[in-house]
């Protein structure tokens, strides 16, 4: 396997350092391509949801206008917000988006178009994430609830038009975006408002649910076909997440669920939402129980054995969180939530399932749905110990306080399988970490330049931490 480090001349070295120090930049990162879905998910260490924002279905002009972004009480998304999320240790951002009310779908379902202004605004925020070299997940979100997608035999075919039309237009709009961008076909597809909306026996689905399962398979296939059919090399190479019914465990474990066929091998992932244990994460229980650890383990073990171990299909947990509880405006379950983080993230780390924390910016209210983690107005974290615990369990290094050496240059030596490090001042050491924080190489160096052998490293993304007499510098390296 050919190994190539990202080439950093002084100008691009500065870009990489600025990215990790929280400053914004406009140059594109090294293009990521040719990786399997399993390799991409291994790079997506942990993520954060921009919830209750582009998924909102309110706003003026029946939701068609851009103010839908803030209609559920969120501030307008900024580059500074995305930078702050990255600085906390997250390397993946999921952007849930509702599209129907930003289109003329109701008037012309077979040939509808998405608002150019809405698509442009979504792209602007995706670019904020690209500026930080983050992975991005983009989906169809609340259109299931608003009636644009129906999973019963009563559907007259317009749901198929919607799935096909939205993904055709998204694929075209993002045809030049590399593997940092992941598409998720649907969000929690289900029979809304029925007794089977969130759960059914996967071994014996009710008669009412079976047609929905069959239509879900069909819609996943349509989405994959439209994305691949765009024709761009990036869309051929892109990782696509496909959900089961309600994106729940039962919905993907039933034999009625089938992953789509795909002309590009090894580029599909299962989309799973897992607020588990439910009573603690979304329900009325606020106290941690020791039995929850084995419950979490058993929940993910089944999915791991069927999809990752059994089929070679990676799993991305698109939503998860544990609701906060308060008494007299003070956390009443913070220690319980930290125990949840320890148990939950330890298991998904063991099974290699990256998880994306749900954040609806709801804080100190709405028991069971208080999943406000990031204060988007103040650019701070409501529950910093919770976030830090996630990073501690995953072994993710803190990059908030790195220094910047403008003279530092790191790049490949074309004559050997080494990296070349040079600076205008004294070098001290170099350490290379995986994105999960595992150290894979350490070497003391002296002088103003050095060559480091890297033949033992596999393809993937690494952080090179170079210490000079002036401080610590972190540079992202990509091995292809």
Decide: residue 369, CB within 10 A, 0-12 exposed, 13-18 middle, 19+ buried.
middle
pLDDT tens sequence across 275-316: 999 999 998 899 999 999 999 999 999 999 999 999 999 999
Question: In this prediction, what percent of the chain has a pLDDT beyond 70?
Answer: 83
Given 394, 422, 456, the domain boundary residue is 394
Counting Cα atoms < 13 Å in the Cβ hemisphere of 171 gives 27
Residue 207 vs residues 131, 159, 210, 213, 434: alpha-carbon distances, Å: 48, 21, 6, 10, 48
| CATH number of the domain encompassing residue 458 | 2.60.40.3080
Q: Is the peptide bond before 277 cis (omega within 30 degrees of 0)?
A: yes
* 5 and 68 together in one domain: no
Q: Can you give the pLDDT at residue 391?
A: 93
Looking at residue 402, its pLDDT comes to 46
Band (pLDDT 50/70/90 cuts) for residue 419 is confident
- Give the residue from 371, 394, 417 where a domain finishes: 394
- At 392, list the tokens: 């501690």
d(CA 200, CA 393): 33
15 with 153, same domain?
no
pLDDT of residue 474 exceeding 90 = no
- Return the CATH number at 174: 3.20.20.80
Calpha distance 223→99 (Å, rounded): 15
Other CB atoms within a 10 A radius of the CB of residue 67 amount to 14
d(CA 36, CA 215): 27
pLDDT for res 6: 29
- Together in a domain, 4 and 90: no
CA quadruple 49, 273, 199, 325: dihedral, nearest 10: -60
User: Do 427 and 372 share a structural domain?
Assistant: no
* 401 pLDDT higher than 70: no
What is d(CA 239, CA 34) in angstroms, rounded to the nearest whole number? 10
**Domain C-terminal end among 394, 416, 444:** 394
445 and 345 share a domain? no
Residue 473 has pLDDT above 80, yes or no: no
CB 65 within 8 A of CB 41: no
pLDDT in the model for residue 5: 28
Q: Which two tokens stand for residue 43?
A: 């790079």
On whether both 363 and 477 belong to a single domain, the answer is no
**Do 402 and 368 share a structural domain?**
no
Distance CA 35, CA 234 (A): 11
| Non-local CB neighbours of 39 within 8 Å, separated by 6+ positions | 459, 460
* Residue 458 in this model has a pLDDT that exceeds 80: no
The dihedral through the CA atoms of 243, 249, 251, 257 has a sign that is positive
16 and 87 housed in the same domain = no
Residues contacting residue 149 through CB under 8 Å, at least 6 positions apart: 140, 143, 159, 162, 163, 186, 189, 219
| Per-residue pLDDT tens over the stretch 151-205 | 665 666 889 999 999 999 999 999 999 999 999 999 999 988 889 999 999 999 9
Domain count, the chain: 2
pLDDT (0 to 100) of residue 281: 96
Q: Which one, of 221, 307, 318, lies nearest residue 38 by Cα?
A: 307
- Tell me what the pLDDT averaged over the chain comes to: 86
For the ranges 78-82, 239-243, 393-397, the lowest mean pLDDT is seen at 393-397
* pLDDT at residue 420 in the model: 77
Q: Rounded to an integer, what distance in angstroms lies between the CA atom of residue 284 and that of residue 279?
A: 6
Give the model confidence (pLDDT) of 55-75 as tens digits. 998 877 655 689 999 999 999
> Cα–Cα distance between 327 and 380 in angstroms, integer?
22
The predicted-structure confidence for 83-112, as pLDDT tens digits, reads as follows 999 989 999 999 999 999 999 998 999 999
**Cβ-proximal residues to 344 (8 Å cutoff; 6+ apart), any chain:** 276, 296, 320, 322, 355
Shared domain for 263 and 170, answered yes or no, is yes
Query: CA-CA distance, 176 to 31, in Å (whole number)?
Result: 10
User: Model confidence at 15, in pLDDT bands (50, 70, 90)?
Assistant: very low
Residues 192 and 240 in one domain: yes
Report the candidate in 250, 372, 348 with the shortest Cα–Cα distance to residue 293.
348
Give the helix ranges, DSSP H, for 132-205: 158-173
The answer, yes or no, to whether residue 24 has pLDDT greater than 50, is no
Do residues 144 and 98 touch, judged by C-beta distance below 8 A? Answer: no
Q: How many CB atoms lie within 10 A of CB 214?
A: 15
**CA–CA distance, 16 with 23 (Å, rounded to integer):** 10
Enclosing domain of residue 336: 35-394
What confidence score (pLDDT) does residue 10 get? 28
Active site residue ranges: 188, 319
pLDDT confidence bin for 424, thresholds 50/70/90: confident
Based on the fold, state whether residues 140 and 14 are members of the same structural domain. Answer: no
What is the Cα–Cα distance from 420 to 428, expressed in whole angstroms? 14
Together in a domain, 440 and 323: no
Lowest mean pLDDT among 27-36, 52-61, 258-267: 27-36
């Amino acid at each position: 396997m050919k190994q190539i480090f990202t080439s950093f001349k002084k100008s691009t070295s500065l870009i990489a350092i600025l990215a990790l120090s929280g400053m914004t930049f406009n140059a594109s990162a090294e293009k990521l391509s040719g990786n399997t879905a399993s390799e991409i998910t291994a790079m997506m260490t942990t993520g954060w949801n921009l919830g209750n924002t582009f998924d909102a279905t309110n706003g003026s002009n029946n939701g068609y206008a851009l103010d839908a972004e803030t209609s559920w009480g969120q501030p307008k998304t900024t580059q500074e917000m995305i930078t702050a999320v990255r600085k906390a240790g997250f390397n993946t951002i999921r952007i849930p988006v509702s599209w129907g009310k930003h289109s003329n779908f109701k008037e012309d379902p077979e040939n509808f178009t998405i608002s150019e202004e809405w698509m442009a605004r979504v792209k602007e925020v995706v670019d904020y994430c690209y500026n930080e070299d983050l992975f991005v997940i983009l989906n169809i979100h609340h259109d299931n609830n608003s009636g644009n997608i129906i999973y019963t035999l009563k559907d007259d075919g317009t749901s198929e038009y919607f799935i096909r039309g939205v993904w055709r237009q998204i694929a075209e709009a993002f045809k030049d975006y590399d593997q940092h961008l992941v598409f998720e076909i649907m969000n929690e597809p289900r029979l809304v408002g029925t007794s089977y909306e969130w759960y059914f026996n996967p071994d014996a689905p009710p008669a009412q649910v079976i047609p929905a399962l069959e239509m879900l398979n069909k819609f996943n296939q349509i989405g994959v076909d439209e994305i691949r059919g765009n024709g761009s090399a990036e869309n051929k190479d892109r990782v696509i997440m496909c959900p089961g019914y309600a994106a729940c465990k039962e919905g993907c474990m039933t034999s009625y669920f089938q992953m789509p066929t795909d002309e590009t091998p090894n580029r599909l992932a299962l989309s799973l939402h897992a607020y588990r244990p439910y009573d603690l994460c979304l329900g009325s229980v606020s106290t941690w129980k020791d039995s929850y650890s084995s419950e979490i383990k058993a929940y993910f073990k089944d999915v791991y054995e069927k999809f990752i171990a059994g089929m070679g299909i990676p799993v991305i947990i698109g939503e998860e969180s544990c609701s906060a509880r308060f008494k007299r405006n003070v956390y009443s379950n913070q220690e319980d939530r930290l125990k949840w983080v320890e148990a939950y993230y330890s298991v998904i780390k063991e099974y290699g399932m990256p998880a994306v924390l749900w954040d609806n910016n709801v804080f100190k209210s709405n028991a069971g749905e208080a999943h406000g983690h990031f204060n988007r107005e103040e650019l701070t974290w409501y529950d910093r110990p919770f976030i830090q615990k996630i990073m501690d369990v995953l072994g993710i290094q803190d990059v908030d306080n790195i220094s910047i050496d403008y003279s530092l240059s790191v790049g490949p030596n074309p004559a050997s399988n080494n990296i070349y490090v040079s600076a205008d001042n004294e070098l001290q050491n170099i350490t290379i970490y995986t994105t999960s924080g595992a150290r894979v190489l350490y070497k003391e160096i002296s002088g103003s330049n050095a060559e480091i052998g890297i033949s033992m490293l596999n393809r993937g993304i690494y952080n090179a931490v170079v210490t000079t007499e002036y401080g610590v510098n972190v540079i992202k390296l990509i091995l292809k």
